[in-house]
Amino acid sequence: MIGKALILMGEIGGNDYNFPFFQGKPVEEVEELVPLVINTISSAITELIGMGGRTFLVPGEFPIGCSVIYLTLYQTSNKDDPLTGCLKWLNKFGEYHDEQLQAELNRLKKLNPHVNIIYADYYNALLRLFQEPTKFGFGNRPFPACCGIGGAYNFSLNRNCGSVGVESCDDPSKYVGWDGVHMTEAAYKLIADGILQGPYAIPPFNWSCLSSETNKKSLDTDYSLMNVDTTLSKTLRQE
């Protein structure tokens, strides 16, 4: 089964970075975690190759500088991107992680030429929704959370989505963000389409390898999707 599976590795690292960022740690300190996260991803892929894995989809980080929770935490920052309103310094951190991850994936490809390792560019697949929101049906300001209360972004650190008295918007499909941390189903669908149909998979998916009776809509009946979610969070907290 594992040899025929499309193995989704992550996205790994998000919570490991969120933990210190939410505590206000400087970006230079959080960057020290990147090699540990990359090594964890690489080690997991290597282990699964040894178990017979042949096709891996490895996502990068999201542009966390566009996340409502970070925009709320660091709303006094004067380093906003004038095009998107996102925090440039946080997005640069995501780019740094992705550069290191792609370099490691290229190394693994050379060591395992018989294995398909695909990089999923979550960063740009999501960033485009903030750059051109109206193009994707999200309106001029996609930042406010659909489910939340208060503040400039309909989000409160003390009253999260699901709390008593916190309601959701009437039409989540018009919003990129669901609860200030996660995206809406509409946003996730666009990210998935960008990965599966292009251009945010490197190398792109080769649909010709599927049988003539199979199309993209029935992909889930032909592949076992194995979501391997390993993070360093517990280990770091224990240490």
The token pair at 57 is: 């989809």
* d(C-alpha 46, C-alpha 103), whole Å: 15
* d(C-alpha 230, C-alpha 44), whole Å: 8
pLDDT tens-digit map of 97-114: 999 999 999 999 999 999
Whether 177 and 184 have beta carbons less than 8 Å apart is answered as yes
Run of H or E including 58:
strand 55-59
Enter the pTM of the model.
0.84
For the purposes of burial, counting CB atoms within 10 Å of the CB of 198, is it exposed (0-12), middle (13-18) or buried (19 or more)?
Answer: exposed
Average pLDDT, the chain: 86
pLDDT class for 78, splitting at 50, 70, 90? low
For the chain, give the number of residues: 239
Owner of token pair 């029935």:
218
The token pair at 19 is: 């933990």
